[in-house]
C-alpha cells in the first residue's frame, strides 16, 4: 500500500504547484450557482425551492469537467505506462489517483456548499443535509467519473464522451442526494437517503477502481 | 529468462510480425532492428505487457517486471528532477536513498539540476532523468526503446558502460537503436519487417 500513499502525496504536490486545476472546478461551481438568483428570481421562496437541485447539478457538472484531467497528463508524458509496471498492483495506484482527485475537487465543493446554501436561502438543517450529501456523494462522482476518464484517455477529444458514458451512472446519485437535501430542509429524517448514498459509495469503492484500471490498460494498448 | 513463442500482431489491418519466436537469457543482448513503422516499439510494449492485441505467448521467468524505457520520458513537468526520479524508482523498488538519487543524476550529467523542474529542461535532459533509473534499479531485464535518442555522445558512452555492467551482472538487455552499438557482449539481432 505504500505506493497508494505515494501517489496521493505526488498528486497533491502537483495540484499545489498548479492551483488552476484545483480552482477551476470550484470557480465554475460558484459561478453556476450565483447565476441562478440573477436568472430566475432572487426571492426566498423560489430559491429555497430549487437550491438542492441547483447546487447538486453544479457539483455534478464541475466534477464532470474536471474528470478529463485525471489521467490526461499522466497519459501524455508516459507516467501512466510506468505505473502499470510498478511493484504493487496497478489498482492501488488508480485508487490513489481517484482519492487525490476527490481531495482537490470534491472535498472543496463539499466544504464550500454551506455558504452557497445560505446564499440560496436554505435553512440550517437543509445546509447541514447538503453538506453531508456532498461529503458522501462527491467521492462517488470521482470514482464513477474515473471509469469514463480511464476509458477515454487514449482519445484526443474524450471530454464529451466521458459525459455520455458517465452521466447515466450519476443520475441515481443526483436523485437520492437532492431528495435527501429536501428532506433535510423540511426536517424529515433522512437517514435512509444517507444509507443509500453510503451503499453506493461502498459499491463504487469496490468496483470502480477495477473497471478504471482495466479501462486505462485498454487505453494504453493503442 | 524470456521465452516468446508464436507471436503474431496485426495493427491497423497491417501484419507487423507473424509467428515470431525467440528466447533470451542471462547476460544476453537482443537488438530489435527494422525501419520505421515495422513494429519495434509495439514488440517491446508487448514484452512489457503494455500492448494486449496480439496472439502468442510471452513468458518471463522473473520475480520483478522488466524495466521499461519508452519514447515518453515519464517525468512530470511540475516536479523537480529529484522528485521525478524518486517517484520513478519508487515504482519498482523501495530501498533507494536520496544520496543515491543525487549520485545517479550526476552520473547522467545532471549535477546541479536536482531541484530544477523538469518542465524547464530540454528534451534530452528529461530523457536523462528517466535513464538515471538505470543506475539505481537492479531489475534483471531491461527493455529500452531508443535509449540513445536525444542523448549526446558522452552520454551514449556512459550508458554503454552501464549496459556492459548490467550484462556482466547476469542481466538481460532488449533494445532498439538506430545507432551502432559498442557493447562488450555479442549482440543478437532480431530483424522485423522482412
Whole-model pTM: value is 0.92
ipTM given for this complex: 0.89
For position B53, what pLDDT does the model report?
87
Tell me the average pLDDT across A44-49.
90
For position A1, what pLDDT does the model report?
75
Eight-class DSSP state of B180 = P
pLDDT tens digits for range A196-205? 999 999 999 9
For position B130, what pLDDT does the model report?
92
Nearest residue in chain B measured CA to CA from A18: B78
In this complex, the residue of B48, B51, B75 whose CB is nearest that of residue A77 is B75
Residue A9 has pLDDT above 90, yes or no: yes
Query: What does the domain layout of chain B look like in residue ranges?
Result: 1-66+140-194, 73-138
Residue (of B69, B89, B38, B5) closest to B192 by Cα position: B38
Residue (of B93, B158, B165) closest to B132 by Cα position: B158
Residue A142 has pLDDT above 80, yes or no: yes
At A161, list the grid cell: 464522451
Residue-averaged pLDDT of chain B = 89
Q: State the smallest CA–CA distance between residue B93 and chain A in angstroms.
A: 7
Tell me the average pLDDT across A19-33.
90
A87/B92 CB distance under 8 A:
yes
Q: State the smallest CA–CA distance between residue A213 and chain B in angstroms.
A: 13
Cβ atoms within 10 Å, residue A64: 20
Nearest residue in chain B measured CA to CA from A6: B87
For position A17, what pLDDT does the model report?
93
The band of B63, judged by pLDDT with boundaries at 50, 70 and 90, is confident
**Chosen CATH of B1-66+140-194 out of 1.10.3720.10, 3.40.50.300, 3.30.70.890, 3.40.50.2300:** 3.40.50.300
For position A82, what pLDDT does the model report?
93
For position A163, what pLDDT does the model report?
87
Distance CA A198, CA A140 (A): 9
Q: State the smallest CA–CA distance between residue B78 and chain A in angstroms.
A: 6
Q: Which residue has the higher pLDDT, A157 or B163?
A: B163
pLDDT tens digits for range A149-183? 999 998 877 778 888 899 999 999 999 999 999 99
For position B153, what pLDDT does the model report?
86
Tell me the average pLDDT across B14-39.
89
CA distances from B193 to B17, B37, B47, B53 (A): 7, 9, 18, 18
**Does B73 lie at the interface with A, CB-CB under 8 angstroms?**
yes
A82/B94 CB distance under 8 A:
no
pLDDT tens digits for range A114-136? 999 999 999 999 999 999 999 99
pLDDT tens digits for range A96-113? 999 999 999 999 999 999
A79 contact residues in B (CB cutoff 8 A): 74-76
Amino acid at each position: 500500500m505504500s505506493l497508494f500513499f505515494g501517489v496521493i502525496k505526488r498528486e497533491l504536490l502537483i495540484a499545489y504547484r498548479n492551483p488552476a486545476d484545483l480552482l477551476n472546478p470550484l470557480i465554475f461551481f460558484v459561478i453556476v450557482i450565483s447565476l441562478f438568483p440573477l436568472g430566475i428570481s432572487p426571492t426566498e421562496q423560489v430559491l429555497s425551492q430549487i437550491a438542492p437541485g441547483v447546487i447538486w447539478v453544479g457539483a455534478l457538472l464541475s466534477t464532470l469537467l474536471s474528470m478529463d484531467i485525471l489521467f490526461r497528463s499522466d497519459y501524455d508524458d508516459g507516467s501512466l505506462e510506468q505505473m502499470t509496471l510498478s511493484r504493487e498492483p496497478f489498482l492501488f495506484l488508480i485508487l490513489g489517483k481517484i482519492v487525490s482527485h476527490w481531495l482537490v475537487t470534491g472535498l472543496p465543493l463539499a466544504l464550500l456548499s454551506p455558504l452557497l446554501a445560505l446564499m440560496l436561502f436554505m435553512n440550517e438543517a437543509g445546509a447541514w443535509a447538503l453538506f453531508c450529501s456532498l461529503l458522501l456523494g462527491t467521492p462517488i462522482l470521482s470514482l464513477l467519473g474515473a471509469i469514463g476518464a480511464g476509458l477515454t484517455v487514449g482519445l484526443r477529444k474524450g471530454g464529451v464522451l466521458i459525459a455520455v458514458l458517465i452521466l447515466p451512472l450519476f443520475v441515481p446519485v443526483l436523485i437520492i442526494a437532492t431528495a435527501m437535501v429536501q428532506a433535510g430542509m423540511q426536517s424529515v429524517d433522512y437517514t435512509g437517503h444517507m444509507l443509500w448514498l453510503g451503499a453506493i459509495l461502498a459499491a463504487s469503492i469496490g468496483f470502480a477502481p477495477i473497471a478504471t484500471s482495466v479501462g486505462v490498460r485498454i487505453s494504453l494498448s493503442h | 529468462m524470456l521465452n516468446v513463442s508464436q507471436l503474431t500482431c496485426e495493427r491497423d489491418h497491417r501484419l507487423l510480425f507473424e509467428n515470431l519466436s525467440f528466447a533470451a537469457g542471462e547476460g544476453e543482448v537482443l537488438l530489435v532492428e527494422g525501419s520505421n513503422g515495422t513494429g519495434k516499439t509495439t514488440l517491446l510494449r508487448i514484452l512489457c505487457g503494455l500492448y494486449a492485441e496480439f496472439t502468442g505467448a510471452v513468458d518471463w521467468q522473473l520475480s520483478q517486471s522488466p524495466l521499461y524505457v519508452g519514447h515518453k520520458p515519464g517525468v512530470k513537468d511540475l516536479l523537480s528532477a529529484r522528485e521525478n526520479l524518486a517517484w520513478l524508482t519508487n515504482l519498482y523498488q523501495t530501498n533507494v536513498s536520496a544520496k543515491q538519487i543525487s549520485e545517479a543524476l550526476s552520473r547522467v550529467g545532471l549535477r546541479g539540476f536536482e531541484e530544477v523542474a523538469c518542465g524547464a529542461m530540454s528534451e534530452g535532459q528529461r530523457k536523462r532523468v528517466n535513464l538515471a533509473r538505470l543506475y539505481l534499479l537492479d531489475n534483471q531485464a531491461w527493455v529500452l526503446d531508443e535509449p540513445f535518442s536525444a542523448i549526446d555522445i558522452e552520454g551514449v558512452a556512459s550508458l554503454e558502460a552501464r549496459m556492459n555492467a548490467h550484462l556482466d551482472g547476469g542481466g538481460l538487455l532488449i533494445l532498439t537503436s538506430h545507432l551502432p552499438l559498442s557493447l562488450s557482449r555479442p549482440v543478437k539481432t532480431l530483424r522485423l519487417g522482412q
